[in-house]
Amino acid sequence: MSDLTPVVRSGSVFVRAAHLLGASAVGGRYLLGVAEAGLHGWWILAGVSGVLLLLAELLRHPELFRETAGWATIVKLLLIGLIFVLPGAALWLMSLAFIVAVVGAHAPKSWRHRKLF
């Protein structure tokens, strides 16, 4: 374990809170049918905090993308990306992205860190 791990973990709690705030605002837009106007900053907050969380996770688990949790992240990002291709399915895509994210983050450790290859 790196000497930076406690610092990264502590910092990631605040970044995770920012990510949940941004993702909730963006996700709420689709769940509640709110207009896109005014959400640009929330998209940025969700995106930047998501990248920071991913980098922190890669520091802790360099083989993340060989693990179930890493693939859950990839699937979540693909679902969110599909929203821009299939805007009519945005509600379902965003809902599924949230479900994948929650399962990927809160499943038992033995499942999250299972090596796929």
Residue whose C-alpha is closest to residue 104's, from 93, 113, 115, 95: 113
Q: Is residue 11 domain-shared with residue 53, that is, in the same domain?
A: yes
Looking at residue 61, its pLDDT comes to 86
Could you tell me if 82 and 93 are in contact, meaning their C-beta atoms sit under 8 angstroms apart? yes
pLDDT of amino acid 11:
79
**Which structural domain, as residue segments, surrounds residue 72?**
63-117
Helical spans, DSSP H, in the chain: 5-32, 40-60, 68-85, 90-106, 109-112
The tally of CA atoms less than 13 A away on the side-chain side of residue 52 is: 19
Judge if 47 and 33 occupy the same domain. Answer: yes
**pLDDT score at 4:** 63
pLDDT at 2: 59
User: For the chain, which residues score pLDDT lower than 50?
Assistant: none
Residues 91 and 38 in one domain: no
Q: Are residues 55 and 36 in the same domain?
A: yes
pLDDT, tens digit, for every residue of 66-95? 999 999 999 999 999 999 999 999 999 999
Longest CA span, the chain:
47
- Do 105 and 54 belong to one domain? no
Residue-level pLDDT at 60: 85
- The encoded tokens of residue 63 equal 């083989």
pTM: 0.84
